[in-house]
Structure 1
Amino acid sequence: MELDAVSIEQRDSADPLAHLQQLFSIPDGVIYLDGNSLGALPKNVSSVLTNAVEEQWGKSLIKGWNCHNWIDLPSRVGNRIAKLVGAEEGTLICADSTSLNVFKVLATAMKLRPGRKVILSDTGNFPTDLYMAQGLKELTGGDIELRLVAPEEVETALDETVAVMMLTEVDYRTGRKHDMKVLTEKAHSVGALAMWDLCHSAGAFPVHLKDANVDFAVGCSYKYLNGGPGAPAFVYVAPKHQATSGNPLTGWMGHDAPFAFDLGYTPSAKTDQMRVGTPQVLAMTALNASLDVFDHTNLEALQAKSIELSELFISEVKRRCPNLELASPTDPMKRGSQVSFRHEQGYAVMQALIDRGVIGDFRAPNIIRFGFAPLYLSFADVFKAAEILEEIIAGDLWDKPEYHQKSKVT
């Protein structure tokens, strides 16, 4: 059924989450469909960060570690993220980058499965995860095999040679979503451990780490958690592994008593063992403030709106741009909070969109991606974005020299 502006306005009027948009700072004239790369700025972050700089750091100086409890930011922020990914309190720590956390977890998992040499992943996994596995292989003298299969072949590829299954729940290109519970159960049935990357999951829809019996998880906080560019990542360790896992990067903050300054390393028996160096206080303070927006809703409501937004976008783009190929699953329960299309000149198409105020992104070789963050998107935004995309495709407006000039970041 063809929709019009009036019916779209009615959907926005009836949207129970519409009030959340006022919590974010979005530039006038911009339709932001790239929250799956970098979340928008929550309005409260600026004042919180200013206070942290001018009052806490500026006036408290070194005393801030105690009087403002900077030292416990990793666990305090971690516990807030834990609620968003279905993890128990005390099992998730905010620290370092996703890549570093991948390395920590892989090395730990291999240690917990002596005699097994295989890290199983899929060809849709985000490259940094694969790079870290390759680095671990080289560091161990090639004594590890990184086995890659097609995403749909993961379940059948799990066997008794696999030490750890390393998967990203939502494919960064297409948005295809793995079944976490099913694949974790299969991994355990053959004696393998299950590690999940939640970079495109956390804050987008409900995740159930405890219920799925996941062993380890990692993720970033600058996408759907809106923590800001370069915001610290997180790492989850299931309770059953906390006493025996250990962290190969034995920095002082993972020590059981870091301020005893022992010359020998004794790991914390808690998730703190996954800490390495000094917490990024300012970045973590900004992230902590950004998480406040989730106090105003729940992930089930966000997922429901995400599905409505993405289904509207798909139907409108299919109607208006029939030559664009949908790269994402048609079943909304089998994709994350993003929709991707293929176009041979996808980079130029996206530059033309950005030039007209519709910000998405491009992934090689031919994917144009659109993220749907229900916290700050309206149905009118999505409808208008489809209109602008139609104008660009129908008029070949993407075919300008400046739209073909690739920047460092695509």
Structure 2
Amino acid sequence: MTDSQPLDALADFPAIPAGWAYLDTAATAQKPQAVVDAITRAYGETYATVHRGVYQRSADMTLAYEAARQRVAGFIGAGSADEIVFVRGATEGINLVAQCWAATQLKAGDRILLSMLEHHSNIVPWQMVAERVGAAIDVAPLTADGRIDLDAVEAMLTPAHKLVALAHVSNVLGSVLDVARATALAHGVGAKILIDGCQAVPRLPVDVTALNCDFYVFSGHKLYGPTGIGVLWAKAELLDAMPPWQGGGSMIDRVTFQKTTYAPPPGRFEAGTPHIVGALGLHAAIDYVEAIGLERIHVHEGALVAQARDALGSINSVRLFGPADAAGIVSFAIEGVHPHDIGTILDEQQVAIRAGHHCAQPLMDALGVPATARASFGVYNGPADVEALARGIERVTRIFG
């Protein structure tokens, strides 16, 4: 990875004070002023409900809300805005697929394939469905450098597998999945494939049509947008065949006490008043990221990963995890020091990292550690932040001898 040109984005983020190295973007990204302004404007100047009011402001807000859906569709290469379902986040998107597709399509004896590095949100919903219908779960191993082993996936897949669910980018290791190959392998045995894109969409260009996956989910707050808004994309024919998950307003065609008929997708899956302002904030976040350029962001974060791995790798007691070309994430451990102690000491140095199992306990077991420390980068980070991290780690090693 070559050195990147500075993005000069730090000034866009009002919640990052001078001298504070925020290295926890994989957990949640800080918000640029453009997103803050969009949210403030929506609540303070233009707010109204959507899809129901006949007055002008409601009509205007409906147009803005649906424009956000169209913006998301273009951002990830969806064929139609009707393939975009707004949800609270990737977790809700995965649960929606689990309950509305898997629970209705899978039966006893069917199999689901996951990988060792999945986030709990891409494990537990499938366990719940498997227990309910009598399906079984298989787990693909990782390569030595922490990638999902697609050769092993190919050997494991059988016609009994009906669903494959994998992370596009690991939230712990930063390893990037070859989604096109994974999709081809899944489709080769007749299985559908869901991709967890939470860590990918802020860092990599994503085109779901080109990738040919069946479901793709991501959360807005990791993409410099607000919390409480996320996206489920699915192929139109799959959404059309799926029953609704929740009942209420907006998701209906007609209600009587004898029978209710449902709206077509995506409305069928958006019961109740939606997170209107969240969708507008997500629109602003996508505008912000695309103005910088995802290819440029990927190169920038790759340079910071390389710098961090070089700096930390030179310290004898530090163990690095994941591949050298990780996307924006560096996980590590220090011999004899609990990651929580690392995080506490770094916080005293004005360096914010994540410490824990990162909602990936099976991966921690596979790595042979109870937890890791994780530094993750965003558009607002630069070489000075990596230098602050390295100084902090050197202090940790001095304190613990």
Which TM bucket (shorter chain)?
0.7 to 0.9
Aligned residue for 1:68, secondary structure, equals helix
- For the Cα contact (< 8 Å) 1:121–1:154, is it kept in 2? no
Cα displacement (A) at 1:269: 3.7
In structure 2, the residue matched to 1:322 is 316
The percent identity for this pair of structures is: 20
Deviation at 1:367, TM superposition (A): 0.7
Q: Which amino acid aligns with 1:24?
A: F
Cα offset, 1:116, TM superposition: 6.2
Distance (Å, rounded) in 2 between the aligned partners of 1:118 and 1:273: 28
- AA in 1 matched with 2:372: I
Q: CA deviation at 1:251?
A: 4.5
Deviation at 1:306, TM superposition (A): 1.3
Q: 2: distance between equivalents of 1:178 and 1:135?
A: 25
Deviates more, 1:343-352 or 1:100-109: 100-109
- Measured against aligned partners, the alpha-carbon deviations of 1:13-40 in whole angstroms (never above 9, x if no partner) come to x82622x332222122211111111111
229, 233, 245: which is aligned to 1:232? 229
The code of the aligned residue for 2:354 comes to D
In the TM superposition, what whole-angstrom CA distance separates every residue of 1:361-409 from its partner, at most 9, and x where no partner exists?
0123231111111x21122222332222222223439xxxxxxxxxxxx
2:232 aligned partner, one-letter code = V
Aligned-residue RMSD, C-alpha: 2.8
Counterpart of 1:391? 395
Aligned 8 A contact 1:221 1:287 in 2: yes
Letter in 2 for 1:385: L
Alignment of 1:193-232 (within 5 A): 193-223=192-222, 225-228=223-226, 230-232=227-229
Match in the other structure for 2:58: 66
Confirm or deny that 1:22 pairs with 2:16: no
Q: 2:263 aligned with 1:274, yes or no? A: no
1:273 positional shift: 3.1
Q: 2:365 is matched with which residue?
A: none
Describe the superposition over 1:61-95 as per-residue Cα deviations: whole angstroms up to 9, x where unpaired: 9758723324862x433332333333334122222
User: Are 1:106 and 2:101 counterparts?
Assistant: no
The residue number in structure 1 matching 2:67 is: 76
Counterpart-to-counterpart distance in 2, 1:96 and 1:28: 32
Which ranges of structure 2 fall in alignment gaps of 5 or more residues? 143-148, 358-369
Give the AA of the match of 2:269: M
SS at 2:331 equivalent: strand
1:349 corresponds in structure 2 to 342
Residue 149 (structure 1) aligns with: 140
Secondary structure of 2:211's aligned partner: coil
- Kindly state the Cα deviation for residue 112 of structure 1 after the two structures are TM-superposed: 4.7
Equivalenced residues, count: 371
Whole-Å Cα distance in 2 between the matches of residues 338 and 54 of structure 1?
Answer: 37
Extract unaligned runs of 5+ from structure 1.
1-10, 398-410
Deviations 1:128-160 (A, max 9, x none): 22222222334x3x4232333324243322111
Structure 2 residue aligned with 1:337 = 328
Distance of aligned partners of 1:114 and 1:272 in 2 relative to their CA distance in 1, 3 Å threshold: farther
Measure, in 1, the Cα distance between the counterparts of 2:112 and 2:248: 25
- CA distance change for structure 1 residues 172 and 324 in 2, over 3 Å: closer, same or farther? same
Q: Alpha carbons of 1:96 and 1:71: their partners in 2 closer, same or farther (altered >3 Å)?
A: farther
Are the aligned partners of 2:107 and 2:135 in contact in 1 as well (CA < 8 Å)? no
8 Å CA contact 2:110–2:162 kept in 1: the answer is yes
SS of the residue 2:208 aligns to: coil
SS in 2 for 1:136: helix
Aligned to 2:77: 86
For the pair 1:361 / 2:366, whether they are aligned, the reply is no
User: Against the structure 1 CA distance between its residues 135 and 72, is the aligned structure 2 distance closer, same or farther, given a 3 Å change threshold?
Assistant: farther
Query: Once the 2 structures are TM-superposed, how far is the Cα of residue 192 of structure 1 from its aligned partner?
Result: 0.3
Structure 2 Cα separation of the partners of residues 206 and 58 of structure 1: 33
Structure 2 residue identity aligned to 1:370: A
Deviates more, 1:187-196 or 1:172-181: 172-181
